[in-house]
Amino acid sequence: MSRIAEMYQNDESIIEGVRNYDDAAVSSLYKKHKDYCLRFMHSKYDDEQTIQDIYQDAIIVFIENIRNKDFKLTNNSSIQNYLNSICYNQIKVRFNKKNKPVLVGDDFENHNSYNENINDWFNDVNDIKSERMKVIQEELMLMKEKGQQCFELLKHFFFANRTMDKIAQLMSYTNADNAKAQKWKCQERLKKQVLNRLKC
Amino acid sequence: MLNLTIQQIEQIRNYFIATSVEEKYALQNSISPYFLKGFLNDLKKLFINAPDNETKFISIAKSMGAGQHIELLKEIQQQYYTHLAEMHLNGNNIEDIEQLLKAKNQSFLYEVSYIKELQLAFILNEREELKKKFMELDKADEIKPAEIEQAFKHIERSKLKQQFKDLDELDATGTSMVAEPLLEYGNKPIASKAVAPVYNFNWKSLAIAAGIIGLIITTAVFLNNHKKAGNDLAKENAGKVKKVKIIDNNQLKNRQNKIEEVLANNTLKYNSLQLTVFKEASFGFSAKEEKITVQIHVVNERVAVLEQLLTDGLLDSTVNSPILNAIRNQIDSLKLLNSKYLFSGNILSIYGDNISKPTVYKLSDQYYVRMGRSIYAVKKTIAPQSFKMVSDKIILDKIDKIEFQQQ
């Protein structure tokens, strides 16, 4: 068994690792539950590509929930059960709006494999279509590719929701205010680049 | 008239973006004494009350004695709005925020929406990155047959070298006294006679690969256990006399050779044929002749070899159970393939035994294969399919006609 697999054997350690932005925990989460979840979905649908997409999205939803909310798995629930549940509900949404999917075969007949009441999914789908959003995304990627400190600084704040004190500590600023002033400059620079591109 | 120094501007800037009341208070005290006591409050009012009207902003700033620093003040205002917008999005609404919201201050509202989009942009980028990562993980799981073979060769070569070295040492000492298990399992010479496998489909690759990888991994597990067992034995022997089994070198070599020989055939053999696809005759210019490759894989032969390995007692069921399981898994995978086919459009792989030489036909884009007296329809597939015999009389008649024309 690899060191990573040893580290992330149970749900708690995976959740903790994902919450701490540990890449290995994400890999472990993705691989550990994939086969079962795919088989679970395959018991109803054959569209391999869609099933793969749903699984990947389900993992992302789970990761975002772990990182952004005070997320806890309910009693008697496991990561596998949670993933099955949101995959199950997605299948319902995408393929079978009227009829409830009938999952058959293997242990899927045991409905403890999923919980119909867990139907978490992306709730920002309608917010992501603007041209400005696309440009911001692209500019951020450029920032990242250039290896700019700004990208890290903004990511710590806007994505990882870290406090300015923590960011100052992580990025070696003398204090939180300095970090905040630098963050604002980065934000403004990005804003100018975005506006320039939108004007063109 | 008040003249603001750069230092004071910075202090003001810091005052406005300070994160705590204590910090604000400390900064207020640190600002020079002649700095008007109410200046900061006025400035705050300027930022909040003289919002989107530039003329008003300049006029108020001048009346406060800060006419030389309009641009800097605007910048500080902007920074303050950013600060307030972040507070607002975190659910911390102070009086200034309420006022800006009530006044529908466009600069502030723009800042709020920009920050929202910025947060979402990070989330979307991260989602894309995760998707890429997942695809890489999936790709990493897809082991190409060539990689398997390469890995297998690499591991086996080094293990073989080690084993030969051990045997030379045994030769030098004569009879060996070792506790069971005696052999390192899975040491396979590079197959000289095995046909190199050319797998075209992932499913098939994985089915076979699972078995081969299983063997490699379990071999490694076994070797590790074996080594550990050896170490434990050495420790135990240091304290007491242990009952050991005496086996001479010839017996040892024979067992080893047998296992090596079996594993040398670890590839699935096949015969490859290049066949012309027969079609209905057409008038006018004759179409370009179509050819496909048919590979006939002899599954049962390989299964029999592996089953023999299970039954001939070369492997001890207590010590070698992981290896035995791996072999059983490989047998199961091979049996699943039996009497099935895979078809990519130009390569048709047929799994089975005693397959008579096939003939391939094509009618309106549908392929048919004759094997013996039966005719089967084959479709493009990435997963192994069972053969479906054709019973449609019209199709059979058409194929008969093609066969007659070919004769």
Closest CA to B399 of B270, B373, A46: B373
pLDDT at B200 over 70: no
- DSSP notation for B237-250: HHHS----EEE-HH
Chain A environment of B137 (Cβ under 8 Å): 27, 30-31
- Residue B355: which residues within 8 A CB-CB, separation 6 or more? B296, B371
Most confident of A127-131, B91-95, B305-309, B379-383: B91-95
* pLDDT at position A187 over 50: yes
Contacts of A55 (CB under 8 A, 6+ apart): A34, A37, A38, A41, A83, A87
Is B14's CB within 8 Å of A128's CB? no
The band of A167, judged by pLDDT with boundaries at 50, 70 and 90, is very high
The confidence score (pLDDT) of residue B129 equals 92
Give the chain A residue nearest B127 (alpha carbons). Answer: A60
The residue that leads in pLDDT, B149 or A56, is A56
φ, ψ dihedrals at B248, nearest 5°: -85, 170
Average pLDDT value for residue range B40-66? 74
Q: What percent of chain B has pLDDT over 70?
A: 57
Is residue B175 a contact partner of residue B212, using CB atoms and an 8 Å limit?
no
* Confidence class for position B367, pLDDT limits 50, 70, 90: very high
| pLDDT of amino acid B313 | 66
* Those residues with Cβ within 8 angstroms of residue B348's Cβ, 6 or more apart along the chain or in another chain: B292, B293, B294, B295, B341, B342, B358, B360, B367, B369, B378
pLDDT score for B223:
43
The rounded mean pLDDT for chain A is 83
Q: pLDDT tens for residues A50-67?
A: 889 999 999 999 999 888
Instruction: Tell me the three state secondary structure of residue A24.
Output: helix
Task: Report, as an integer, the average pLDDT of A102-120.
Answer: 64
Burial zone of B255 (CB within 10 Å; 0-12 exposed, 13-18 middle, 19+ buried): middle
DSSP state of A20: T
The number of C-beta contacts closer than 8 angstroms across A and B is: 78
Q: Tell me the average pLDDT across B172-188.
A: 40
Please provide the average confidence, as pLDDT, over all residues in chain B.
70
CA distance B321 to chain A (A): 18
Pick the residue with more confidence: A64 or A73?
A: A64
* Contact status, residue A151 vs residue B129, Cβ threshold 8 Å: no
Residues forming beta bridges with residue B137, ordered by sequence position: none
Cβ of A124 and B123 within 8 Å?
Answer: yes
Q: Which residues pair with B352 in a beta bridge?
A: B298
Instruction: Report the b/e string of B319-328 with b at 16+ CB within 10 A.
Output: bbebbbebbe
Q: How far apart are CA B257 and CA B163, in angstroms?
A: 12
| Best to test chain B binding among A83, A133, A183, A192 (most B CBs inside 10 Å) | A133
pLDDT: is B1 or B148 the higher one? B148
Task: Give the pLDDT mean for A148-160.
Answer: 92
Average pLDDT over residues A141-157: 91
Tell me the C-alpha distance between A6 and A175, whole Å. 38
The predicted structure's pLDDT at residue A97:
52
- With 60 as the cut, is the pLDDT of residue A123 above it? yes
| Backbone torsions φ then ψ of B93, nearest 5 degrees | -95, 115
* Rounded percentage of chain A residues whose pLDDT exceeds 90: 35
**pLDDT score of B18 more than 50:** yes
Two tokens at A129? 């279509």
**CA–CA dist B279, B289 (Å, integer):** 9
pLDDT of residue A121: 84
- Would you place residue B266 in the very low, low, confident or very high pLDDT band (cuts 50, 70, 90)? low
DSSP B95-122: HHHHHHHHTT-HHHHHHHHHHHHHHHHH
Rounded to whole angstroms, the Cα distance separating B341 from B378 reads: 8
What does the longest C-alpha to C-alpha distance in chain A come to? 61
pLDDT for A1 equals 47
Per-residue pLDDT, B262 = 61
Say whether B122 and A132 touch across the interface (CB within 8 A): no
Q: Is the pLDDT of residue B360 over 80?
A: yes
**How do residues B340-350 score in pLDDT, each as one tens digit?**
888 888 889 89
- Asked if B93 and B87 touch (Cβ cutoff 8 Å), the reply is yes
Write out pLDDT tens, residues B41-51.
677 777 787 65
Task: Give Cα B242 to chain centroid, integer Å.
Answer: 48
- CA-CA distances (angstroms) from residue B307 to B186, B304, B324, B338, B386? 15, 5, 10, 15, 24
Question: B96-128 b/e with 16+ CB inside 10 Å = b?
Answer: bbebbeeeebebbbebbebbbbbbbbbbbbbbe
Among residues A196, A197, A195, A182, the alpha carbon closest in space to that of A149 is found at A182
**Nearest-neighbour CA in chain A from B326: distance (Å):** 16
Strands B291-298 and B270-279: antiparallel
pLDDT at B203 over 50: no
> Whole-prediction pTM value?
0.52
**CA nearest A158 in B: which residue?**
B119
CA B356 – CA A148 distance, rounded (Å): 66
Query: What pLDDT does A29 receive?
Result: 93
Q: How many angstroms away from the CA of A3 is the closest CA of chain B? A: 15
How far is it between the farthest Cα atoms of chain B? 114
CB half-sphere exposure, B373, CA atoms < 13 A = 0
Searching chain B, which residue's CA lies closest to the CA of residue A126? B120
At B150 the pLDDT is 66
The terminus-to-terminus CA distance of chain A in angstroms comes to 55
Query: Is A154 or B221 the better-scoring residue by pLDDT?
Result: A154
Let me know if B183 is exposed, middle or buried by CB neighbors in 10 A (0-12, 13-18, 19+).
Answer: buried
Confidence class for position B267, pLDDT limits 50, 70, 90: low
CA atoms within 13 A on the CB side of B230: 12
Assigned token pair, A186: 């980065």
Tell if the CB–CB gap between A27 and B78 is shorter than 8 Å. no
- Tell me the mean pLDDT in the region B189-216: 42
Average pLDDT of A140-156?
91
Specify the pLDDT at position B346: 84
The string of pLDDT tens digits covering residues B216-235 is 444 444 444 444 444 443 44
The structure tokens listed for B165 are 């070295």
The pLDDT of residue B245: 43
Please give the Cα distance from B147 to B126 (Å, whole number): 31
Is residue B2 predicted with pLDDT exceeding 90? Answer: no
**Chain A positions with Cβ closer than 8 Å to B:** 23, 26-27, 30-31, 52, 56, 59-60, 63-64, 124, 127-128, 130, 132-133, 136-137, 140-141, 144, 154-155, 158-159, 164, 176-177, 180-181, 184, 187-188, 190-191
Question: What pLDDT score does B160 carry?
Answer: 65
3-state secondary structure B140-175: HHCCCHHHHHHHHHHHHHHHHHHHHHHHHHHHHHCC
The per-residue pLDDT for range B293-304, each reduced to its tens digit, is 998 888 887 788
- Comparing B147-151, B356-360, B389-393, which segment has the lowest mean pLDDT? B147-151
Closest CA to A170 of A152, A190, A182: A152
- Among A43-52, A120-129, B362-371, the range with the most confident prediction by mean pLDDT is B362-371
Residue among B122, B131, B134 whose CB faces A140 most closely: B122
State the CB neighbour count (10 A cutoff) for residue A133. 18
Does the pLDDT of residue B270 top 50, yes or no?
yes
